[in-house]
Chain A
Amino acid sequence: GNSVTQMEGPVTLSEEAFLTINCTYTATGYPSLFWYVQYPGEGLQLLLKATKADDKGSNKGFEATYRKETTSFHLEKGSVQVSDSAVYFCALTSSGNTGKLIFGQGTTLQVKP
């Protein structure tokens, strides 16, 4: 079945540093890919998505490009802020038409002033 692997955390960066969180996937067919974010004490929120190869999802300065040839969907941001500290989850749709998402284990980002 479909699966996703994220880089382990925590990732600790200084404010204004460049961020990359790696995500690779295994899938049959053509899944949609997502990044969700979970701020402390809150529920998961959709950060960005891409529905087909070479699509770039972007939101709040974060970007990720759907790379079919490397089966990757790495999350990037050019200049992180303290307020970006959260847990980031990569996800993909499962096979079939259920809309069900399969999540990675999450990567904790800590941004220090």
Chain B
Amino acid sequence: DTGVSQDPRHKITKRGQNVTFRCDPISEHNRLYWYRQTLGQGPEFLTYFQNEAQLEKSRLLSDRFSAERPKGSFSTLEIQRTEQGDSAMYLCASSYPSGSSGANVLTFGAGSRLTVL
């Protein structure tokens, strides 16, 4: 168990470019979550998957944001036409299924920091 891995750790891009972040969850976890964290704030929920199904999306997730988890394993978060307001830390977390003893305990990755110039 190597924990939750995120890649890249840092991304600097110019306004208007597209960026993609990848998350590899803990292999036994079937739930996967994306959060966004800006400086001095707590993480804000973006979206969540159970296996390959995207079951909830926050209103924070504009049309420029899309997330996938095609085989129920790793997930990607793509931001199209980036804006300076997208600059933040993007966090991925995973957890065991509902009903298991570890349910509701989210294990976080180290995050992917995005800077939009």
Contact = CB atoms under 8 A, between A and B. Distances in A.
A105 B40 contact: yes
Interface in B82-117: 91, 93, 95, 98, 103-111
B21 interface: no
A43 B111 contact: yes
Interface stretch (A14-22, A63-71, A78-86, A95-103): A95-103
Interface string B34-66: 000000111111001000000110000000000
Contacts of A44: 43, 91, 93, 108
Contacts of A100: 33, 45, 48, 56
B33 A103 contact: no
Interface of A: 32, 34, 36, 42-46, 49, 51, 89, 91, 93-94, 97-106
6 contacts: A43-B111, A45-B108, A99-B48, A99-B104, A100-B45, A106-B41
Interface of B: 4, 31, 33, 40-45, 48, 55-56, 91, 93, 95, 98, 103-111
Given A43-B109, A94-B45, A103-B42, 5 more contacts: A91-B42, A97-B98, A99-B98, A100-B48, A101-B106
Counting from the closest, the 7 A-B pairs by CB-CB distance are A103-B42, A43-B110, A44-B108, A43-B108, A105-B42, A99-B104, A103-B43
